[in-house]
């Protein structure tokens, strides 16, 4: 059985010998270098953009500006999925610092850089707005005239009698939490190379969404879908930042203008920070509780800073609404989730997307309530956590719910009830904290695969699942190998390449193992049926009397009467058997006024518990021990699953303790990995453990993010436990902790 | 900038190249020699993806001018395996699942080789300290630690 084994990643040798063909390595014959001339002001009306001197520079092949899109026979300047508000290059209006204004294709990077200096831009600056709440106020600068209040999306949830709920409460607790803009910071930056040939566009790119890229590019250039081909090599990390459509339209537009030569765009590290970011969020959370810890009502308002264009915010804002409520039994819930335009770079998914901000809020809030009521934080949670058959705030009945098991696995792993090694009286104090999360999956979604079995018994899996380090190709090959009864060594994986691999919505939101895994199981079942039908005349039994397993077709009642797959094909003169597998979900249609309905086919579930040490003289926080748990249903590959769980915790520690994109007047002031720090070996807890919970008869559940969102609140709760300081603003820097400790001391005096 | 003719010793082979005087070793290795296991990421010596060995020492090739390493012995990930046999550190990284996207992996492996060259039996603290100059955004540190432990002369 291939499933359940720690099979090394299929291309492990390439990974340790440096030969993975990342998009950044791509070299095509006659390829030109693409560079981007960007805005240096956050909001302005463009008066004149003159690229003529730059165009005349020897070695410059083409320059694209908005003028190239004027005219009915030209490509569309604007794109976006689903709201088409984003220009490929800014036309008469600049909306953030770093916005592309002109694209240069040149023989070398040095020439392109020289050309940049020859571009002349005249503009009239407009007043700008960077804070999301401020942008909603009347009189604020308007980014898009069609959205006069700067609200790109407002999602609502209304359940129960909220006023009666608060009236029935013994205590009402109200808090405000905030998370800053952050950057996904995959070590490989965004890359896109484009080539036009005979009216057809081919794109090589580091993207998590090849089929979205194809659809959006076909709309920009008014091409039939089959005339746009998107090829995605393995990525040097994605983390949500490479989802949707990012730099691909620019590469395609440059190659379109050049005509007969390919152009490659590679973002610098600094450009990454203006390409995509994580939504800064402010969350107001108000809960009514009884003295015994029973909840009566919860009201949540969320302000997501979406940046200058809608991009992914349009569908992430409703998802973020559901993810901020918390997995608890609360009879009355009201939520308002606002996505807001500001003069900042676009915000989109960042691993643990639209969960981390909300989970930090509701799980910090739970501890505030626990301490107020004098109830143990684990006990308050387990008393209120949702169980199977409970109703969620959307009114949907829950199934396969394991919040209590996840939280207890993390808490008991840490030793929640064991005495803490106390350092009272010394400078360093220890504390413990825990947190739990729930996340809807992407509903109303589709995955398809093709499986080919050849006459030598080799199996090729054609999938558009992107391999970005998560081991998706290996896990899906394991699922196929088990379903077909062949060893993993017989498996090959191809894709994504929209010319040969079938459609898949995207590789995001921890959906691939479940969704594409479901498609693989469907395809394998169809292939087994074809094998039975092809073997039936040879074995002289009806296909219904045959079984297909372990590399053989055999008579169910006489297993010794059997033929290997290769022989089934050989004796029928078949080169290959091919099957298509599909998996789709159609939930996710909530009532727009009440948020009621079925939001998701499955719930993602995870938890974490940690022990920290706080230096009371400096405020420095060290996470000594961290235990995480996620609900996996059925684990495909224990090593890869462990890497997801641990990797989430480490990624989450970055957002918890280190990461904040600093902005001054719309200008990002730390767009480099020195001032924007990522977690290193020395930030990793000395004791870091994880568990993937399984259940008999369960399906493959996504685990790509579940242990991430609990990290920040678990640490914040542990800091409170250690020194009594409640930090409600991420990241949990030493400065804030120290201020918290001092504030508390002043208050006690 | 004027070009200079230099001889570099890369992975045991001499290369004579015309190199612009301001060119970094990262650019020379990736662009001229097509050794793409050396990777660009931060460009300022913070992330370690461009790590190579110069006379056995791990350095950031993005901060090193090619002219500085003339006639020195440069090892990239491409030079680590011999006759198709993986280096023991490479094998340990596979055995312990010590990578995800693997963009950082060549840098980590070369830093590990340099560490073991200086100290054949580093303890956990020494490993964590030495490898802190290499970043893994996927967060594979626990498995990397296990892989390096397995490479020690005395494996406990």
A473: domain CATH number is 3.30.365.10
Could A187 and B86 be called an inter-chain contact, meaning their C-beta atoms sit closer than 8 Å?
Answer: no
Could B42 and A673 be called an inter-chain contact, meaning their C-beta atoms sit closer than 8 Å?
Answer: yes
Residue A580 domain-assigned? yes
pLDDT, position A422: 66
Is A595 within 8 Å of A156 (Cβ atoms)? yes
Give the CATH H-level superfamily of domain B3-79.
Answer: Beta-grasp domain (3.10.20.30)
* Single residue among A557, A584, A611 that ends a domain in this structure: A584
Which of chain B's residues have a Cβ under 8 Å away from the Cβ of A19?
Answer: 36-37
Domains B3-79 and B88-151 in one fold = no
Residue A172 domain-assigned? no
A646 touches chain B (CB under 8 A): yes
Q: CA-CA distances (angstroms) from residue A187 to A103, A232, A351, A400, A706?
A: 24, 17, 14, 36, 22
Per-residue model confidence as pLDDT tens digits over B19-78: 998 999 999 999 999 999 999 999 999 999 999 999 999 999 999 999 999 999 999 999
B residues 72-91 closer than 8 Å to A (CB): 76-78, 80-81, 86, 90-91
pLDDT, position A486: 97
Which of chain B's residues have a Cβ under 8 Å away from the Cβ of A8?
Answer: 94-95, 97
A72 CB burial (10 A radius; 0-12, 13-18, 19+): exposed
For residue B104, what is the nearest residue in chain A, using CA coordinates?
A: A187
From the list B44, B124, B139, the residue facing A646 with the nearest CB is: B139
For residue B91, what is the nearest residue in chain A, using CA coordinates?
A: A16
A118 touches chain B (CB under 8 A): no
Cα-flanking dihedrals φ and ψ of residue A285, to 5°?
A: -130, 125
B140 touches chain A (CB under 8 A): yes
What are the 10-residue block averages of pLDDT along chain A, 749 residues in total? Answer: 94 98 98 98 98 98 98 96 94 98 97 98 98 97 97 98 98 98 98 98 98 98 98 98 97 97 98 98 98 98 98 95 98 98 98 97 98 98 98 97 98 95 79 97 94 97 98 98 97 98 96 97 98 97 96 96 96 97 94 96 96 96 98 98 98 98 98 98 98 95 97 98 97 97 67
d(CA A674, CA A676): 6
Could A684 and B105 be called an inter-chain contact, meaning their C-beta atoms sit closer than 8 Å?
Answer: no
d(CA A571, CA A551): 16
Q: List, in sequence order, every beta strand (DSSP E) within A290-445.
A: 295-307, 333-341, 347-348, 428-440
* Single residue among A266, A289, A324 that ends a domain in this structure: A266
Same domain assignment for residues A662 and A604: yes
Could B137 and A8 be called an inter-chain contact, meaning their C-beta atoms sit closer than 8 Å?
Answer: no
Whether pLDDT at B155 is above 80 = no
Same domain assignment for residues A326 and A468: no
Give the number of residues written for chain A: 749
Which of chain B's residues have a Cβ under 8 Å away from the Cβ of A12?
Answer: 94
Same domain assignment for residues A603 and A691: yes
Same domain assignment for residues A117 and A260: yes
Whether pLDDT at B3 is above 60 = yes
Give the DSSP letter of residue A655: I
Residue appearing with tokens 């537009």: A253
CATH architecture of B88-151: Orthogonal Bundle (1.10)
Both tokens of residue A584? 């789709």
Is B58 within 8 Å of B111 (Cβ atoms)? yes
Which of chain B's residues have a Cβ under 8 Å away from the Cβ of A272?
Answer: none
What is the rounded end-to-end Cα distance, in angstroms, of chain A?
A: 66
pLDDT, position A746: 56
- According to DSSP, the β-strands at A333-341 and A295-307 are parallel
Both tokens of residue A497? 């390449």
Residues whose CB is less than 8 angstroms from the CB of residue A56 and which lie 6 or more positions away in sequence, other chains included: none
Q: List, in sequence order, every beta strand (DSSP E) within A556-620.
A: 558-564, 576-584, 603-615
Both tokens of residue A524? 């394998």
Residues whose CB is less than 8 angstroms from the CB of residue A323 and which lie 6 or more positions away in sequence, other chains included: A354, A355, A358, A359, A437, A438, A439, A440, A709
Listed by start position, the domains of chain B span 3-79, 88-151
- The shortest C-alpha distance from B43 to chain A (Å) reads 8
A363 touches chain B (CB under 8 A): no
- The shortest C-alpha distance from B47 to chain A (Å) reads 7
Which of chain A's residues have a Cβ under 8 Å away from the Cβ of B99?
Answer: 9, 15-16, 469
d(CA B40, CA A45): 36
Same domain assignment for residues A743 and A703: yes
pLDDT, position A749: 43
Could B41 and A235 be called an inter-chain contact, meaning their C-beta atoms sit closer than 8 Å?
Answer: no
How much is the ipTM here? 0.98
Report the phi/psi class of residue A635: left, alpha or beta, with left for phi > 0 and alpha for psi in -120 to 50: beta
Same domain assignment for residues A420 and A453: no
Same domain assignment for residues A111 and A238: yes
B22 touches chain A (CB under 8 A): no
d(CA A27, CA A191): 12
pLDDT, position B153: 87
A236 touches chain B (CB under 8 A): yes
For residue B141, what is the nearest residue in chain A, using CA coordinates?
A: A681
d(CA A476, CA A516): 7
- The shortest C-alpha distance from B107 to chain A (Å) reads 9
Residues whose CB is less than 8 angstroms from the CB of residue B93 and which lie 6 or more positions away in sequence, other chains included: A16, B99, B105, B108, B109, B144, B147
User: What is the span of the domain harbouring residue A472?
Assistant: 445-584
Q: CA-CA distances (angstroms) from residue A113 to A34, A60, A258, B19, B42?
A: 10, 10, 18, 20, 19
Is A740 within 8 Å of A723 (Cβ atoms)? yes
For residue A466, what is the nearest residue in chain B, using CA coordinates?
A: B101
Same domain assignment for residues A429 and A500: no
* Single residue among A584, A605, A627 that ends a domain in this structure: A584
A residues 482-541 closer than 8 Å to B (CB): none
B139 touches chain A (CB under 8 A): yes
Is A23 within 8 Å of A100 (Cβ atoms)? no
The 3-state DSSP class for residue A187 equals coil
For residue A12, what is the nearest residue in chain B, using CA coordinates?
A: B94
Number of structural domains (chain A) is: 3
Q: CA-CA distances (angstroms) from residue A369 to A179, A287, A728?
A: 21, 9, 14
pLDDT, position A82: 83
- The shortest C-alpha distance from A304 to chain B (Å) reads 25
B120 touches chain A (CB under 8 A): no
Could A20 and B77 be called an inter-chain contact, meaning their C-beta atoms sit closer than 8 Å?
Answer: no
Is A194 within 8 Å of A263 (Cβ atoms)? yes
Is A317 within 8 Å of A590 (Cβ atoms)? no
Upstream peptide bond of A82 is cis (omega within 30 degrees of 0): yes
Could B38 and A6 be called an inter-chain contact, meaning their C-beta atoms sit closer than 8 Å?
Answer: no
B residues 36-55 closer than 8 Å to A (CB): 36-44, 46-47, 49
Is B45 within 8 Å of B54 (Cβ atoms)? no
Q: How many CB pairs under 8 A join A and B?
A: 162
B123 touches chain A (CB under 8 A): no
For residue A472, what is the nearest residue in chain B, using CA coordinates?
A: B100
Residue A155 domain-assigned? no
pLDDT, position A516: 98
Which of chain B's residues have a Cβ under 8 Å away from the Cβ of A14?
Answer: 102
Residue A524 domain-assigned? yes
Residue A95 domain-assigned? yes
């Amino acid at each position: 059985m291939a499933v359940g084994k720690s099979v090394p990643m299929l291309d492990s040798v390439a990974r340790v010998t440096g030969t993975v063909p990342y998009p950044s390595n791509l070299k095509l014959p006659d390829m030109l270098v693409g560079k981007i001339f960007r805005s240096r002001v956050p909001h302005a009306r463009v008066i004149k953009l003159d690229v003529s001197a730059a165009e005349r520079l020897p070695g410059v092949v083409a320059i694209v500006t908005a003028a190239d899109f004027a005219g009915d026979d030209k490509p569309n300047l604007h794109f976006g999925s689903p709201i088409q508000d984003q220009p490929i290059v800014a036309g008469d209006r600049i909306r953030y610092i770093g916005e592309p204004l002109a694209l240069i294709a040149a023989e070398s990077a040095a020439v392109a850089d020289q050309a940049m200096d020859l571009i002349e831009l005249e503009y009239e600056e407009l007043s700008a707005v960077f804070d999301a709440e401020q942008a909603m106020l009347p009189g604020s600068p308007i980014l898009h005239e069609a959205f006069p209040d700067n609200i790109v999306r407002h999602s609502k949830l209304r359940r129960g009698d909220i006023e009666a709920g608060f009236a029935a409460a013994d205590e009402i607790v109200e808090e405000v939490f905030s998370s800053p803009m952050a950057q996904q910071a995959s070590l490989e930056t965004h890359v896109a190379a484009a080539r036009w040939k005979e009216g057809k566009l081919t794109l090589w790119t580091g993207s998590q969404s090849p089929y979205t890229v194809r659809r959006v590019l076909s709309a920009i250039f008014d091409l039939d879908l089959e005339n746009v081909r998107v090829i995605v090599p393995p990525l040097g990390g994605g983390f949500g930042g490479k989802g949707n459509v990012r730099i691909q339209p620019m590469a395609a537009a440059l190659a379109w203008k050049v005509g007969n030569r390919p152009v490659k765009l590679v973002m610098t590290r600094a450009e990454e920070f203006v390409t995509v970011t994580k939504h800064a969020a402010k969350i107001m959370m108000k809960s009514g509780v009884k003295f015994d810890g029973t909840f009566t009502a919860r009201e949540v308002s969320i302000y997501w800073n979406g940046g200058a264009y809608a991009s992914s915010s349009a569908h992430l804002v409703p998802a973020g609404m559901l993810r901020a409520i918390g997995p608890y039994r609360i009879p009355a819930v009201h939520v308002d989730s606002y996505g807001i335009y500001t003069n900042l770079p676009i915000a989109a998914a960042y691993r643990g997307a639209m969960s981390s901000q909300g989970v930090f809020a509701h799980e910090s809030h739970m501890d505030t309530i626990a301490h107020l009521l004098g109830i143990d934080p684990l006990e308050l949670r387990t008393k209120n956590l949702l169980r199977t058959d409970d109703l969620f705030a959307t009114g949907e009945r829950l199934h396969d719910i394991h919040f209590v098991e996840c939280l207890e696995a993390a808490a008991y792993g840490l030793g929640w009830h064991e005495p803490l090694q106390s350092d009272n009286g010394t400078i360093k104090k220890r504390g413990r904290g825990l947190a739990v999360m729930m996340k809807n999956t992407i509903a109303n979604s589709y995955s398809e695969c093709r499986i080919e079995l050849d006459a030598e018994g080799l199996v090729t899996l054609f999938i558009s699942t992107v391999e970005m380090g998560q081991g998706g190709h290996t896990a899906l090959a394991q699922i196929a190998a088990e379903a077909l009864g062949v060893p993993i060594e017989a498996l090959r994986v191809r894709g994504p390449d929209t010319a040969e691999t079938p459609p898949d919505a995207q590789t995001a939101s921890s959906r691939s193992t479940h969704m594409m895994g479901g498609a693989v199981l469907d395809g394998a079942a169809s292939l087994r049926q074809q094998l039975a039908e092809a073997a039936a005349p040879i074995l002289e039994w009806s296909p219904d009397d045959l079984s297909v397993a372990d590399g053989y077709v055999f008579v169910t009642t006489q297993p010794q009467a059997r033929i290997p797959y290769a022989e089934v094909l050989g004796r029928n003169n078949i080169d290959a058997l091919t099957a298509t597998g599909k998996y789709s979900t159609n939930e996710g249609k909530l009532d727009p006024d009440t948020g009621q309905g079925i939001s998701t086919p499955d719930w993602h579930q995870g938890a974490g518990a940690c022990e920290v040490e706080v230096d009371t003289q400096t405020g420095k926080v060290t996470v000594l021990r961290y235990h995480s748990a996620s609900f996996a249903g059925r684990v495909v590959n224990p090593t890869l699953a462990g890497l997801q769980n641990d990797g989430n915790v480490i990624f989450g520690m970055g957002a918890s303790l280190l990461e904040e994109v600093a902005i001054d007047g719309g200008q990002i002031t730390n767009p480099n990995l020195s001032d924007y720090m990522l977690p290193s070996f020395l930030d990793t807890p000395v004791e870091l453990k994880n568990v993937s919970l399984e259940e008999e008869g369960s399906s493959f559940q996504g685990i790509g993010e579940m242990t991430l969102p609990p990290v920040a609140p678990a640490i914040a709760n542990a800091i409170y436990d250690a020194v009594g300081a409640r930090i409600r603003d991420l990241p949990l820097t030493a400065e804030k902790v120290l201020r918290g400790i001092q504030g508390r001391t002043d208050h006690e005096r | 900038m004027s070009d200079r003719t230099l001889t570099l010793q890369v992975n045991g082979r001499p290369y004579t190249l015309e190199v612009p005087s301001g060119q970094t070793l990262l650019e020379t290795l990736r662009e001229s020699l097509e050794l793409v296991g050396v990777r660009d990421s931060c460009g300022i010596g913070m992330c370690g993806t461009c790590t190579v060995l110069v006379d056995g020492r791990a350095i950031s090739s993005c901060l090193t001018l090619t002219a500085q390493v003339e006639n020195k012995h440069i090892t990239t990930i491409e030079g680590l395996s011999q006759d198709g046999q993986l280096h023991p550190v490479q094998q340990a990284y596979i055995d312990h699942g010590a990578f995800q996207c693997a963009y950082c992996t060549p840098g980590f492996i070369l830093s590990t080789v340099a560490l073991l060259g200086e100290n054949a039996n580093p303890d956990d603290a020494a490993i964590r300290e030495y490898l802190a100059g290499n970043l893994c955004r996927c967060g594979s540190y626990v498995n990397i630690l296990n892989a390096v432990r397995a490479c020690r002369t005395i494996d406990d």
